[in-house]
Amino acid sequence: MSEPSRFDRGHTDDLMSFLAASPSPYHAVANAAERLEKAGFRQVAETDAWDGSSGGKYVLRGGAIVAWYVPEGTAPHTPFRIVGAHTDSPNLRVKPLPDTGAHGWRQVAVEIYGGPLLNSWLDRDLGLAGRLTLRDGSARLVNVARPLLRVPQLAIHLDRSVSAEGLKLDKQRHLQPVWGLGNDVRDGDLIAFLEEETGLAPGEVTGWDLMVHSVEPPAYLGRDEELVAGPRMDNLLSVHGGVAALTAVAADSRLSYIPVLAAFDHEENGSQSDTGADGPLLGSVLERSVFARGGSYEDRARAFAGTVCLSSDTGHAVHPNYAERHDPTHHPRVNGGPILKVNVNNRYATDGSGRAVFAAACERANVPFQSFVSNNSMPCGTTIGPITAARHGIRTVDIGVAILSMHSARELCGSDDPYLLANALVAFLEG
């Protein structure tokens, strides 16, 4: 095998650009696809017949993307090496009837998506982004990346107990952002505004999937810029690293596996959708790849039996102000390298054999790694890992990067960890 590509600080700079340009899952996969195209990958339509040609290919479906590279002469039963991630992040999403308001304020009706830290969305300058569906069935991405909305917090003078008793937010009443003034709230105002923003004719938009986002750009933080603050690290950090790793190993004719990136939508609310990890997308793509190369069901079974997936998602770094919330013997630190996530109740899919696969990849890449396990008295989160393992019957290992402020509108990671993760992913994909 060739030596893994050694990403450096420039990878973290590029991650920050990727985060800023990807305010929605639809933008994230479009940006991923653009990078893949530059590396020689080509899009294939699910509605077309697939051929068995070699090279890099990808499928786009909504806010999900699956990309893979097939070296020349690859046998149909060749196993896959998969980097799994997700494109969605907790946030506030626009309701079907978005125009609302009261007491002279014009507001946008939003619904809470996933499990965001609600207080982190207060008093921020917010933009609006997502996907517009037109009358002809086509879609148009939209990104209003300037201050447009704000969820104003109640002044302390009107809630004297907030500092002593904590902030209490009613999810329905207290999180509707303002975006203007006026007593005459008119249905269609927001969509008409977005049609004008995107150069569309009035009435052309008939459907929308829209969400708010902080317009503050990612930035290095700290005396020595050892940290990065930015939005949607959970989990675009892994998507970006997966794209970088896949394009780095593409065109290597000596690969023993078929490298794959699978970035799904809807992880934050259970993955049960046609673009989520609990849907058929990944299995369909892998099977069609086998069959397009002349493989049989037996070849498909052999390929899946030898396949390994790294489910890459962010995890919890030890918090200096809340160390008691962590397991006392497992304290992952930022810039300490990627974390291996373990939970014996299968909230993560890692077992001993999976640990060995990841440890070997990190050793080849000369990347340190850490172990994460939850405090026994705290409930453990989960990932696409157990879903991927159970749905497709493939060995899956849960890994990621340790961060602070997970599910905040603005999260915090170490500036070294993104490229350490990418280097480990390269070594894993190369096998």
pLDDT digits (tens, 9 = 90+) for 259-313: 999 999 999 999 999 999 999 999 999 999 999 999 999 999 999 999 999 999 9
How close are the terminal C-alpha atoms of the chain, in Å?
8
Domain containing residue 391: CATH number: 3.40.630.10
Domain's final residue, options 169, 187, 214: 214
User: What is the average per-residue pLDDT within 390-404?
Assistant: 98
Same domain, 238 and 333: yes
Domain's final residue, options 214, 248, 276: 214
The annotation status of 316 as a binding-site residue, yes or no, is no
pLDDT band at 256 (very low <50, low <70, confident <90, very high): very high
Mean pLDDT score of the chain: 96
Same domain, 420 and 360: yes
Same domain, 403 and 312: yes
Same domain, 353 and 394: yes
Same domain, 270 and 407: yes
Whether residue 108 lies inside any domain: the answer is yes
Whether residue 120 lies inside any domain: the answer is yes
The annotation status of 407 as a binding-site residue, yes or no, is yes
The annotation status of 157 as a binding-site residue, yes or no, is yes
Domain's final residue, options 180, 214, 248: 214
Q: How far apart are CA 245 and CA 421, in angstroms?
A: 9
Domain containing residue 169: CATH number: 2.30.250.10
Question: Which are the contacts of 351, defined by CB distance < 8 A and separation ≥ 6?
Answer: none
**Which of 351, 377, 373, 357 shows the shortest CA–CA distance to 424?**
357
Q: What amino acid is encoded at 363 in this protein?
A: E
Same domain, 276 and 181: no
Q: What pLDDT score was predicted for residue 4? A: 46
Q: What pLDDT score was predicted for residue 6? A: 67
Same domain, 136 and 276: no
Same domain, 251 and 395: yes
pTM of the model: 0.96
Same domain, 265 and 401: yes
**Which of 2, 4, 14 shows the shortest CA–CA distance to 241?**
14
What is the Cβ-side half-sphere exposure of residue 141, based on CA atoms within 13 angstroms?
15
Helix (H) or strand (E) run with residue 88 in it = none
Same domain, 108 and 151: yes
Tell me the pLDDT tens digit for each residue of 35-56. 999 999 999 999 999 999 999 9
Whether residue 3 lies inside any domain: the answer is no
Same domain, 68 and 153: no
Q: What pLDDT score was predicted for residue 2? A: 42
Q: What pLDDT score was predicted for residue 49? A: 97
pLDDT band at 336 (very low <50, low <70, confident <90, very high): very high
Torsion of CA 201, 203, 204, 210, to 10 degrees: 110
184 vs 290, more confident: 290
The DSSP line for 409-429 is: SSEEEESSHHHHHHHHHHHHH
Q: Is the pLDDT of residue 1 over 80?
A: no
* The total number of structural domains that make up the chain: 2
Domain that holds residue 124: 91-214
Q: DSSP label at 151? A: B
Whether residue 35 lies inside any domain: the answer is yes
Whether residue 143 lies inside any domain: the answer is yes
Same domain, 418 and 307: yes
**Are 91 and 113 a contacting pair, CB within 8 Å?**
yes
